[in-house]
Amino acid sequence: MSTQGNFNAEQEEEFFNKIDQVYDLTEASNFDAAEQLLMEINGSITGPKENSSVGGVVLDSIYSFYEQTGALEKALPFFLEETEYLKEKMAHEKIHSTRHFLTTGAIYYALNDLDNARANFLIAYDKEGSKIFMDENSDYLKIALMDDPEFVAFKETFVPNEDEAQLELSEEEHELLEKYCEEGNAEMDKENYPAAIAAFTKALEVLPAPKDDWDATAWISASIGDAYFAEKKYKEALDHLHRAYQIYGEDDPNAFVLLRMGQSYLELGEEKHATDYLHHAYKLEGKELFEDDKKYLTFLASKVTL
């Protein structure tokens, strides 16, 4: 198997079977065999990984393997080859794999090469903003936002920051969150939208700061946006839907959030935004997502070819 671009179904199945074998061999501490197979998989993709449907998976697997085996410096050449290509490409067209710059920066950070780490973090921030740094080591975004004097001072006293995993909710917090969300859902079923908004807002208040670090904030915000949409308060709906959209991230968008954003924009007369978000939702889940109100599918069909 050697290909560039999108794999067919048979090739993808073979590819993912081999990736699973790499993980199994690594877990069994058979590192030589795992590395050999990983290099075989990498070599099966000719050309830049950006142009392959599974290229990002290969690079992520390379990073994970060498991080787990304590030889992260070995991952660097693979990422540098890709990021050099991406730098050339993004000079004249949009790229898809911005996250490779973040990972390259993370490798440099682990190797205490802060200047090169910063250069890559800056590219990631310029292209995606702060959301791409979500759930990453907090130093990464900090470095991207520093001015030059701050960065010089930071380097002089640098100690690697090993962020702990996000704390879990206490049992009491978890029970309260569940209670308020159940109340909100019950009020939505009764079409008592102000009461639903109040309940979901209480649920948000349970989450410790920074609230946008919690996955629950995304779906609770989406629920509040849905309630405001049902009340025909479209501007208020968009405030909460945009928050949910940012937390889910562009790489893993939520189709329902995209749908409600597009519908809200259409109701506000902003057809360009409406078309963009409705089309994105349609591409994720198709016409079935529009079953409740064909008005929005009819609008979309008048703007784009479905």
Q: Read off the CATH number of the domain in which 26 is found.
A: 1.25.40
Among 129, 156, 183, where does a domain finish? 156
Amino acid identity at 166:
Q
Range of the domain at 32: 9-156
**Residue 112 shares a structural domain with residue 182:** no
Residue 3 three-state SS: strand
Q: Residue 187 phi/psi, 5° resolution?
A: -70, -35
- CATH number, domain with residue 252: 1.25.40.10
The pLDDT score that the predictor gives to residue 6 is 63
Residue 4 placed within a domain: no
Residue tagged 């209480």 (tokens): 202
What is the reported pLDDT for 195?
Answer: 97
* Residue 166 located in a structural domain: no
Residues 6+ apart with CB under 8 A from 51: 4, 5
Q: Is residue 161 one of the residues assigned to a domain?
A: no
Q: Which long-range contacts (CB under 8 A, 24 or more apart) does 120-129 make?
A: 120/83, 123/87, 123/98, 124/98, 124/99, 127/90, 127/95, 127/98, 127/101, 128/98, 128/250
| pLDDT number for residue 249 | 81
Q: Judge contact between 45 and 11, C-beta under 8 A.
A: no
* pLDDT score at 131: 72
Residues 94, 232, single domain; the answer is no
Task: Collect the ranges in the chain with pLDDT lower than 70.
Answer: 1-7, 134-135, 162-167
Residues 143 and 182 in one domain: no
Of the residues 98, 126, 156, which one is the last residue of a structural domain? 156
Is there a single domain that holds both residue 138 and residue 251? no
Q: Do residue 194 and residue 149 come from a single domain?
A: no
One domain, residues 133 and 188: no
The answer to whether residue 1 sits within a structural domain is no
Q: How many domains does the chain have?
A: 2
Where is the domain boundary, 130, 156, 182?
Answer: 156
pLDDT of 2 reads 44
